[in-house]
Amino acid sequence: MGIFAEDLINFGNLMEATIDFPINQKELENILNVPVFLAPHVMDVVVKKKFLAFSKDYKIRLKEGEYFINDRKAGKRAVGFDMLLEKDVELLPSVFEVIEGRPYLNFWPYIKASELYTKVPNQFKERVIIKDYEIKKDVLVLKLGVQK
């Protein structure tokens, strides 16, 4: 049985398609182990900052960026954020990886553990990448696709 034109069209559509992968505020708080507040295009991460003998809640504002790491060999599918204050990068939770002064958050373990991932055909599982992301009110939406 040969490959038909419809098969090629469907395969091409699959390669170009993006699927929304929403992560709500509570899930993000579980990932980061700190309180998180989401608003359109920004995410506030609340950490404890020490002032003399006291500690106080301190918000670090992260803004959507257009930075992605889709490294299949290292098992990384990460998104990068812009920061309002670069000096705050040291205060971020340890789940953030700082590369060239920019915080990245690896979502690959959470994507692989999701129900959506189980529905991906086996030949495409390791080729899933993050094409884009958007922060909305109360949800961060990853736009997943397949690497050609």
Q: Is residue 59 part of a domain?
A: yes
* Residue-wise pLDDT tens digits, 74-123: 889 999 999 988 888 889 999 999 998 899 999 999 999 998 888 888 88
Determine the structural domain holding residue 90 and report its residue range.
Answer: 19-146
Tell me how far apart the alpha carbons of residues 139 and 39 are, in angstroms, rounded to a whole number. Answer: 8
Give the start-end residues of each E strand in 52-119.
54-71, 76-83, 96-99, 102-106
Using a pLDDT cut of 90, give the percent of the chain over it: 54
Count of domains observed in the chain: 1
**pTM, rounded to two decimals:** 0.82
Q: Is residue 118 part of a domain?
A: yes
CB environment 72-86: b (16+ within 10 A), e (fewer): eeeebbbbbbebeee
CB within 8 Å of 142: residues ≥ 6 apart: 20, 21, 22, 23, 79, 107, 111, 130, 132, 133
Cα torsion 142, 48, 94, 60 to 10°: value is 40
* Residue-wise pLDDT tens digits, 47-59: 988 877 788 889 9
Residue type, 93: P
Helix (H, G, I), strand (E, B) or coil at 41: coil
